[in-house]
Amino acid sequence: MNTRRYLIGLIFLLLAGPTLAASKSDTAKEKRWEDQIVPSLLVGEAVKLKAGDTEFLSLYAPNTDSQHNYGGVILIHGIGAHPAWPDIIEPLRINLPDHGWSTLSLQMPILANEADVKEYLPLMPEAPTRIQAGVDFLKSKGVKNIVVIAHSMGTSMANIYLSNKPDPAVHAYVAIGMSNPFPKEYDNAAALSRMKLPILDLYGSQDLEGVINFAKARASASKGNKRYTQVMVEGANHFFNDMQDELVKRIRGWLGKNATGAKS
């Protein structure tokens, strides 16, 4: 009997361990970002969402294209950033609504500026609950076709959600600048191998070394997914500096061919 109880308890700890060990995001920093962003917001509106006991900022910009209503895009920023981050996130957030897509940019779990990438590992289990809160919000607005677009560390967060029975309303995924920071705990190649939805794997020829070196592994992991496309943009760096228009254009084009089937 004691042995049986021990085994049951051990199984519980193994299953619950990631949740019990997960630390909280730096909510004070999130509040500072919010205090800077909200007063100067020109496009869209600030919306507070809730994931578990945590309230977090999101920025919602409804579709403004009277001719088309394709669905909604959830935007997931990279390490230490915010939902109006000027590189990658903000150009997509404010431009896609003019082309048939509502956007919802989420504040993801963050740490202090000096935090190392590896220090983000305990925060990873918090990401799926925030993404699901974003999905639920868009669904409450009548959106039935949802695309996730993530950048850098945000792709690792998105992969946890998308590779583990995501909401059926999520129909496509754009990953920008994906590396593999946690290969033992959250292997992005393994995550990609479990995904069957349309995927655009986008990176630059001048991207970070970890992104470029991981490109072959990403493509190999996705070889069973006929709706996976990998594109290297010549001249682009990790943040597509001075190439934001090209970024938006390429993503719009891919969405038009691969993610507009389920109209909202």
pLDDT in tens, 238-252: 999 999 999 999 999
Indicate the helix (H) or strand (E) that contains 143: none
- How many domains does the chain divide into? 1
pTM (2 d.p.)? 0.90
- Which of the residue ranges 139-143, 144-148, 218-222, 260-264 would you say has the lowest mean pLDDT? 260-264
Q: Residues 3-20: what's their mean pLDDT?
A: 38
Q: Residues 91-109: what's their mean pLDDT?
A: 97
Residue 116's alpha-carbon distances to 48, 76, 111, 151, 211, in angstroms, are: 28, 19, 9, 17, 17
Give me the helices (H) in the chain, please. 2-21, 27-37, 89-95, 127-140, 153-162, 188-193, 209-213, 215-221, 244-258
Q: Please check whether residue 4 lies inside any domain of the structure.
A: no
Q: Please check whether residue 56 lies inside any domain of the structure.
A: yes
Q: Please check whether residue 15 lies inside any domain of the structure.
A: no
* pLDDT for position 261: 73
* pLDDT for position 214: 98
Instruction: Give the integer Cα–Cα distance in Å for 137 and 264.
Output: 14
Reduce the DSSP state of residue 31 to 3 states and report it: helix
Residue bearing the bigger pLDDT, 115 or 21: 115
Instruction: Give the integer Cα–Cα distance in Å for 111 and 77.
Output: 13
Q: Please check whether residue 129 lies inside any domain of the structure.
A: yes
Instruction: Give the integer Cα–Cα distance in Å for 208 and 161.
Output: 24
Instruction: Give the integer Cα–Cα distance in Å for 206 and 185.
Output: 27
- Containing structural domain, residue 96: 25-258
Q: Please check whether residue 99 lies inside any domain of the structure.
A: yes
Q: Please check whether residue 86 lies inside any domain of the structure.
A: yes
Q: Please check whether residue 172 lies inside any domain of the structure.
A: yes
Q: Please check whether residue 3 lies inside any domain of the structure.
A: no
Check which CATH number belongs to the domain holding 97 and give it.
3.40.50.1820
